[in-house]
Amino acid sequence: MGEFTLGNLPGTRDLLPEDTALWQSIESAARDVFGRYGFAEIRTPIIEPTELFARGIGADTDIVGKEMYTFRDQSGRSVTLRPEGTASVVRAYIQGAMHREGGVRKLYYHGPMFRHEKKQKGRWRQFYQVGAEAIGSEHPAVDAEIIEMALGLLDALGVKARLCVNSVGCRDCRPRYVELLRAELQKSPGGLCEDCRRRAETNPLRVLDCKVEGCQPLVAALPAITDHLCAGCAGHFAQLRAHLDDAGIAYEVAPRLVRGLDYYVRTAFEVVSGDLGSQNALAGGGRYDGLSEVLGGPAAPAIGFAIGLDRLAMILGESRGDADRRGPELFLAWMGDAAFVKALEIARHLRRRGRRCHVDFGEGRLKGQLRLAGKLGARHVLIIGEDELARGRYSIKRFADSRQWEVTMEELEAYLETT
Ligand code: HAM
């Protein structure tokens, strides 16, 4: 066996108990806000056949072209760790014949996604998303409602962010626009970075998204897609904006906003935050009418979004500290073997009644136990020594005001009910 160096893979990390409290509060806010809009949770596998993403997201995208974690399993099948959630949800929608239920099917999910991206602040190789998909309608009011819901979650968490919307056209009008872009780009290939020279051939839309300084003058001079939409897409976009106005949602139209996945048609949007640095997209989404058919399913126009939880936690973590951490309600400090057994018994009894209790398994020095109780953020400490054991009365101390008094087991239970 070769040498082994202990360590997690680059771009991955452990979320420790001091982090997960915040993550849980975000997830429960999502469940609450999304539930109000009629969304129910779906859990799909983390591994999927590679073909699902190659077809769904598009072979020319960065995600499929260079970022997927793909391997062959024992049966020789090509398997990929999901780089996003939409393709899987649509696969489950088709397999579950959910279109038969009629109406709009509203599904949300949260969990890890995997992309082998260059490491950068706010960019991970295993990252987490909470996302939602509304499948079964092309009405622009659905687009407005799902945008309202995404912003509603951020608002519930106290996050200030900016909404950018665009229309990326459809299978009728976009190819014409892409040809126009290609022709423009061919006029001055010299002014473009190497990536963009390649993109000008393979996927000219992606040039609009280039962050390289040198490309910016050229990109700014390119025609805007919003000036080249067909009547259907222009009308859809105008209605979306009217619905957003009705809902009192502020937005800016960003004609250069293109997304890194090929399934989008018509509506595309991003929510960006000034607190994030260069990776400033907190959420992204859009409409993907046609994805179901690409995957072999029935016509199922749809729209969705995903919020990056790592980025959201980064913003919230700075403002919240560890206020959400829930320490034990009762720390049971013990001295001597008999007291240890009693402490375990009391803790077991109280936990069955829903109380959060902690018993330390160390050597039983009182001072050390009290220090630990403080570190864990315990609200009370119960002291059990030989004396207390013999009398059936224990000394309890409340940390908030340092008050100390004696209780029997019944009094303790009754007191904890009142806290
Ligand atoms: P996306 O824009 O690729 O869209 O990802 C959505 C969000 O996930 C981003 O705005 C960002 O906050 C976060 N994110 C993406 N990559 C990383 C990374 N490497 N590290 C940290 N955070 C990241 C989608 O995934 C689509 N499936 C969204 C969607 C749903 N469209 C329709 N329905």
CATH at 241? 3.30.930.10
Mark whether 161 and 266 lie in a shared domain.
yes
**Which residues face 265 on adjacent strands?**
287
Instruction: Give the model's pLDDT for residue 320.
Output: 60
Mark whether 303 and 385 lie in a shared domain.
no
What domain range is 237 assigned to? 17-173+229-321
3 lies in some domain: no
* 252 phi/psi in degrees, rounded to 5: -120, 145
Contact 238, 141 (CB under 8 A): no
Across the chain, what does the average pLDDT equal? 94
User: What is the Å distance from ligand 1's center to 129 Cα?
Assistant: 7
Number of domains in the chain: 2
User: What is the Å distance from ligand 1's center to 308 Cα?
Assistant: 6
Mark whether 51 and 134 lie in a shared domain.
yes
- Which pLDDT tens digit goes with each residue over 310-339? 999 999 986 664 444 678 999 999 999 999
Mark whether 36 and 69 lie in a shared domain.
yes
Mark whether 351 and 294 lie in a shared domain.
no
User: What is the Å distance from ligand 1's center to 29 Cα?
Assistant: 19
Instruction: Give the model's pLDDT for residue 195.
Output: 86
Question: Which residue lies with its CA nearest to atom 15 of ligand 1?
Answer: 308
Whose CA is closest to 236, among 143, 136, 305? 143
203 lies in some domain: no
User: What is the Å distance from ligand 1's center to 309 Cα?
Assistant: 9
User: For tokens 């992606």, what's the residue?
Assistant: 206
> What does 272-290 look like in DSSP terms, one character per residue?
E-TTSTTS-EEEEEEE-TT
Mark whether 287 and 374 lie in a shared domain.
no
User: What is the Å distance from ligand 1's center to 384 Cα?
Assistant: 52
Token duo for residue 353: 């009644």
> What does 186-223 look like in DSSP terms, one character per residue?
HH-GGGS-HHHHHHHHH-GGGGGG---GGGHHHHHHSP
Last residue of a domain, one of 321, 346, 366: 321
Last residue of a domain, one of 287, 321, 355: 321
224: pLDDT strictly greater than 90: yes
Mark whether 148 and 271 lie in a shared domain.
yes
If you average pLDDT over residues 145-172, what whole number do you get?
97
CA dihedral 321, 322, 323, 326 (to 10 degrees): 170
If you average pLDDT over residues 93-107, what whole number do you get?
96
User: For tokens 């206020």, what's the residue?
Assistant: 323
Which of 84, 104, 164 is the pocket-test mutation for ligand 1 (most atoms within 8 Å of CB)? 84
CATH at 359? 3.40.50.800
Tally of CB atoms within 10 A around 39: 21
68 lies in some domain: yes
* 273 phi/psi in degrees, rounded to 5: -125, 140
Last residue of a domain, one of 321, 340, 358: 321
**3-class DSSP state of 30:** helix
Mark whether 115 and 264 lie in a shared domain.
yes
333 lies in some domain: yes
Q: Between 93 and 365, where is the model more confident?
A: 93
User: What is the Å distance from ligand 1's center to 172 Cα?
Assistant: 26
Atom of ligand 1 nearest to the CA of 260: 3
d(CA 110, CA 130): 4
Confidence of residue 103 (pLDDT cuts 50, 70, 90): very high
- Which pLDDT tens digit goes with each residue over 21-50? 899 999 999 999 999 999 999 999 999 999
Provide residues with CB under 6 Å of ligand 1.
Answer: 84-86, 115, 117, 123-124, 127, 129, 131, 133, 260-261, 281-286, 288, 304-306, 308, 310-311
Mark whether 407 and 378 lie in a shared domain.
yes
Question: Which residue lies with its CA nearest to atom 17 of ligand 1?
Answer: 123
Instruction: Give the pTM.
Output: 0.90
224 lies in some domain: no
Mark whether 342 and 291 lie in a shared domain.
no
Mark whether 68 and 118 lie in a shared domain.
yes
User: What is the Å distance from ligand 1's center to 28 Cα?
Assistant: 20
Tally of CB atoms within 10 A around 150: 28
